[in-house]
Amino acid sequence: MFAGSLRRGRTTVGPTGPPRVLRPDLGTHDAVPERHEFGSNTDPLTGKATFKVPAGAAEYTLTTSASRSTKVHTASTRIDASWTFHSKRPTAGVTELPVSSVRFKAPVGLDSRVPAGRTVTYPVTVEGAAAGRNLKSLAVYVSYDDGRTWKKTDVRNGRITVRNPAKGKGVSLRAKITDKKGNKSTISVHNAYYGK
């Protein structure tokens, strides 16, 4: 859902604690003093950065925020994600982190536009650790003011029903996912699509 040139963003990883505030507009963050940051990456799209963390079992939080210029594309202008998960060093080799993502399958055109004001129903698909029968909970929120306020919408049989945004306006989507082992993911897509 997100492609194009990265404008600003930052990825950080550290043990779970009080929330931190990401400042994607500055490419930095404000960390709570008692939290230890194990690493950061100013290019969150490549996924090439590695972070060395202690070997013992612990709960970690990985956060990322990426934005792109509206000159590249007007839709999905910023994506924020946070994953809180339990992990420890594998006995051998590499292991996948127990994190999840989501796909909002809105019926948009190639221009990321939809008929303004209509009510539509479409699938929301969870991927990763919480996919399938490992999903404990999924909550979806919508915003018509670029994420300043969010309203929860019902998820029924893997589908949501939302009102399309007004002409020229965007709708932002957020999913909060928990798997059966308690790992949590929050994904926010700002201005996912627009009304026409």
| pLDDT tens-digit series, residues 55-113 | 778 888 888 888 887 787 788 988 999 998 888 887 877 778 899 999 999 999 999 99
Q: Is 46 left (phi over 0), alpha (psi -120 to 50) or beta?
A: alpha
Structure tokens at 20: 């931190």
Cα separation, 19 vs 148, in Å, equals 18
Q: Residue 194, Cα to own-chain centre: how many angstroms?
A: 19
Give pLDDT tens digits for 105-162.
999 999 999 999 999 999 999 999 999 999 999 999 999 999 999 999 999 999 999 9
Burial class for 34, CB neighbours closer than 10 Å (0-12, 13-18, 19+): exposed
Mean pLDDT, range 168-175, rounded to an integer: 97
Quick: pLDDT tens for 8-64.
Answer: 344 444 444 333 333 333 333 333 334 566 667 666 556 666 667 777 788 888 888
